[in-house]
């Protein structure tokens, strides 16, 4: 079977191309063993997610992407993995567009330069039932705090689903807020019945062209602190605009690189553009 190691802005994936072997399957323990840092398959860095490529389940798609986090659970969306899957399909087929199917949606992708892919992530889901939350509330700001009630360290995050649930806090300083400590506490907050990806976003001054900029760190449910999170970058831009912190377009700087995110007003869709890297290609 063809096996690849790919990453998108530092978000690292073990990719199994099972389109010619439809019976191929992995169980949670095997996924964890492959993805863990130091594994024989992935080396010292390990993998943030494991991707299984399959034949599409619909005539409206070109390829199906099955997504596992490194703790052995399946998830419905991963923006960076979508870019890597789309790039691989386009390279193999000699085309500039691709439709990637996940358990959540069919995502339309296009080439946007040398090893750069733009993905239409669709409209964000903003109703409390869609995220989902355990109880009804407005999602511009949700009632989640960390620290003393009268002087919380973190408060008033925005909630967004980009195919998976996100809670985005806005911070002034990453030295006083430690994502690796706060993330796991928020991930299992009782308000989130499916757990949650936790974003920590700092609004930066615009660049010389007036483009909004956001510095972002994401604690991914089932994966921990990662170098990048594509859906997290989309959620951060949406949450920032809803709280009137930025416009509808921004460069989101993550530990592994930069992603350009635009929340289009015309059709409500979020467009994510970013890099793809192929680290290794061979046979498993």
List of residues 6+ apart from 224 with CB closer than 8 A: 180, 183, 184
Residue with tokens 């299992």: 188
CA separation for the pair 141, 184 (Å, rounded): 20
Phi, psi of 280 (to 5 degrees): -160, 145
DSSP-assigned letter for residue 242: H
Phi, psi of 159 (to 5 degrees): -115, 135
- What angle in degrees, to the nearest 10, is found between the helix axes of 79-93 and 230-242? 130
- For 97, the 3-state DSSP assignment is strand
167 is catalytic: no
234 is catalytic: no
Active-site position among 109, 167, 229, 234:
229
CA distances from 41 to 17, 25, 54, 282, 284 (A): 15, 17, 21, 12, 9
- For 30, the 3-state DSSP assignment is helix
CA separation for the pair 24, 238 (Å, rounded): 37
Active-site position among 78, 98, 167, 234:
78
- For 111, the 3-state DSSP assignment is strand
CA distances from 3 to 14, 83, 212, 278 (A): 8, 17, 38, 11
DSSP-assigned letter for residue 227: S
Tokens found for residue 10: 């530092």
User: DSSP H helical segments within the chain, as ranges?
Assistant: 28-35, 79-93, 179-187, 230-242
Active site residues: 78, 229
């Amino acid at each position: 079977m063809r096996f690849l190691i790919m990453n998108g802005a530092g978000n690292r994936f073990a990719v199994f191309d099972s389109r010619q072997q439809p019976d191929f399957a992995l169980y949670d323990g095997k996924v964890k063993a492959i993805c863990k840092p130091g594994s024989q398959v992935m080396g010292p860095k390990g993998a943030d997610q494991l991707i299984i490529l399959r034949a599409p389940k619909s005539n409206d798609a070109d390829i199906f992407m099955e997504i596992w986090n490194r703790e052995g659970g399946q998830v419905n969306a991963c923006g960076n993995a979508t870019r890597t899957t789309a790039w691989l399909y386009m390279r193999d087929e000699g085309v500039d567009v691709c439709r990637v199917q996940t358990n959540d949606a069919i995502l339309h992708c296009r080439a946007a330069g040398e090893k750069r892919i733009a993905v239409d992530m669709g409209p964000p889901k903003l109703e409390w039932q869609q995220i989902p939350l355990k109880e009804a509330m407005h999602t511009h700001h949700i009632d989640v705090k960390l620290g003393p009630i009268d002087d919380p360290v973190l408060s008033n995050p925005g909630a967004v689903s980009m195919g998976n649930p996100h809670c985005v806090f806005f911070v002034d300083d990453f030295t006083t807020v430690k994502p690796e400590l706060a993330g796991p506490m928020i991930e299992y907050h009782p308000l989130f019945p499916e757990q949650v990806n936790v974003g920590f976003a700092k609004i930066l001054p615009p660049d010389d062209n007036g483009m909004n900029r956001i510095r972002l760190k994401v604690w991914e449910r089932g994966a921990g602190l990662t170098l990048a999170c594509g859906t997290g970058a989309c959620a951060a831009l949406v949450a920032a605009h809803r709280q009137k912190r930025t416009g509808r377009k921004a460069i989101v700087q993550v530990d592994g690189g930069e992603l350009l995110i635009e929340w289009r007003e015309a059709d409500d869709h979020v467009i994510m553009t970013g890099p793809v890297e192929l680290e290794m290609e061979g046979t498993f």
